Structure 1
Amino acid sequence: MSAYLPVQGPPRRLGPRGRVWFDRLLVLGLLAPVPFPVLAGDPVPAVLSVLAVLPLLWRRAHPVAVFWAVTAVHVLQVFVVDEPVLGQLAWPVAVYSVARYAPAAHGWAALAVSACAAVTAALDWGGTATTMQLETIVANTLFLGAVAATAWALGTLGRTRQAYVDAVVERSERVEREAAQQVALAAADERARIAREMHDVVAHGLSVIVVQADGARYAARTDPAVAARTLETVSATGREALTEMRRMLGLLRAEDGEGAPALRPQPGVGDLDALVAEARTAGARVDARLPGPGTAADVPDGVGLTAYRVVQEALSNVRKHAGPDAAVRVEVAVSGTASGGGRVVEVRVEDDGRGAAAEDDGRGLGLLGMRERVTAHGGTVEARPRPGGGFAVAARIPL
Structure 2
Amino acid sequence: MTASASTLVRRPPRLGPRGRRWFDVLLVGVLVLPLLPLGYALGVVPVGLTLLELGPLLWRRSHPVVVFWAVTAAHALQVLLLDEPLLGQAAWPVAVYSVARYATAPHGWAALAVSAVASLTAARDWSAGSPEPLLTLLANAFFLGAIAATAWALGTLGRTREAYVDALVERSERVEKEAAQQVALAAADERARIAREMHDVVAHGLSVIVVQADGARYAARTDPDVAARTLETVAATGREALTEMRRMLGLLRAEDGDGSGPALRPQPGLGDLDALVAEARTAGAHVDARLPTPLDGRDVPDGVGLAAYRVVQEALTNVRKHAGPDPSVRVEVAVTGTGRDRAVELRVEDDGRGAAATDDGHGLGLLGMRERVGVHGGTIEAGPRPGGGFTVSARIPA
One fold, TM greater than 0.5?
A: yes
Residue 180 of structure 2 is matched in structure 1 by: 180
AA at the equivalent of 2:207: S
1:229-282 CA-partner distances (Å, limit 9, x unpaired): 312331342344346446657986xxxxxxxxxxxxx9339979xxxxxxxxxx
Deviation of the 1:207 alpha carbon = 2.6
AA at the equivalent of 1:211: V
Distance in 1, Cα, partners of 2:67 & 2:276: 83
- Please give the root-mean-square deviation of Cα atoms over the aligned residues, in Å: 3.3
Distance in 2, Cα, partners of 1:148 & 1:247: 73
| Aligned 8 A contact 1:270 1:296 in 2 | no
Q: Percent identity?
A: 71
| Aligned 8 A contact 2:216 2:226 in 1 | yes
Residue 94 of structure 1 is matched in structure 2 by: 95
AA at the equivalent of 1:153: A
AA at the equivalent of 2:228: A
Distance in 2, Cα, partners of 1:141 & 1:105: 24
Distance 1:15 1:110, change over 3 A: same
1:69-113 CA-partner distances (Å, limit 9, x unpaired): 100111111111111111100000000000101111111111111
3-state SS in 2 of match to 1:40: helix
Is 1:162 aligned to 2:146, yes or no? no
Residue 123 of structure 2 is matched in structure 1 by: 122
AA at the equivalent of 2:76: V
Structure with larger RCO (C-alpha < 8 A, sep 6+): 2
**TM-score w.r.t. length of structure 1:** 0.60
Is 1:231 aligned to 2:231, yes or no? yes
Residue 220 of structure 1 is matched in structure 2 by: 220
Residue 75 of structure 1 is matched in structure 2 by: 76
Residue 47 of structure 1 is matched in structure 2 by: 48
AA at the equivalent of 1:79: L
Is 1:24 aligned to 2:28, yes or no? no
1:287-316 CA-partner distances (Å, limit 9, x unpaired): xxxxxx9899769xxxxxxxxxxxxxxxxx
1:142-181 CA-partner distances (Å, limit 9, x unpaired): 1101110110111011111101110111111011000001
Distance 1:229 1:105, change over 3 A: same
AA at the equivalent of 1:75: A
AA at the equivalent of 1:197: E
Distance 1:59 1:294, change over 3 A: closer
Is 1:146 aligned to 2:140, yes or no? no
1:103-146 CA-partner distances (Å, limit 9, x unpaired): 11111111111111111111101123x74521111111111011
Distance in 2, Cα, partners of 1:229 & 1:298: 40
AA at the equivalent of 2:12: P
Distance in 1, Cα, partners of 2:58 & 2:138: 33
Deviation of the 1:196 alpha carbon = 1.8
Deviation of the 1:43 alpha carbon = 1.1
Distance in 2, Cα, partners of 1:36 & 1:147: 27
AA at the equivalent of 2:31: L
Deviation of the 1:224 alpha carbon = 0.8
3-state SS in 2 of match to 1:11: coil
Residue 337 of structure 2 is matched in structure 1 by: none
AA at the equivalent of 1:168: L
AA at the equivalent of 2:153: A
Instruction: Please say which structure displays the higher CA radius of gyration.
Output: 1
Distance in 1, Cα, partners of 2:276 & 2:44: 104
Greater displacement, 212-221 / 70-79: 212-221
| Aligned 8 A contact 2:46 2:86 in 1 | yes
Deviation of the 1:16 alpha carbon = 0.6
Distance 1:4 1:78, change over 3 A: same
Q: For structure 2, which runs of at least 5 residues remain unmatched after alignment? A: 253-265, 281-398
Distance in 1, Cα, partners of 2:69 & 2:58: 14
Residue 57 of structure 1 is matched in structure 2 by: 58
| Aligned 8 A contact 1:201 1:245 in 2 | no
Q: How many residue pairs align between the two structures?
A: 266
Distance in 2, Cα, partners of 1:57 & 1:249: 64
Distance 1:99 1:211, change over 3 A: same
Distance in 2, Cα, partners of 1:178 & 1:187: 14
Distance 1:205 1:96, change over 3 A: same
Distance in 2, Cα, partners of 1:227 & 1:78: 117
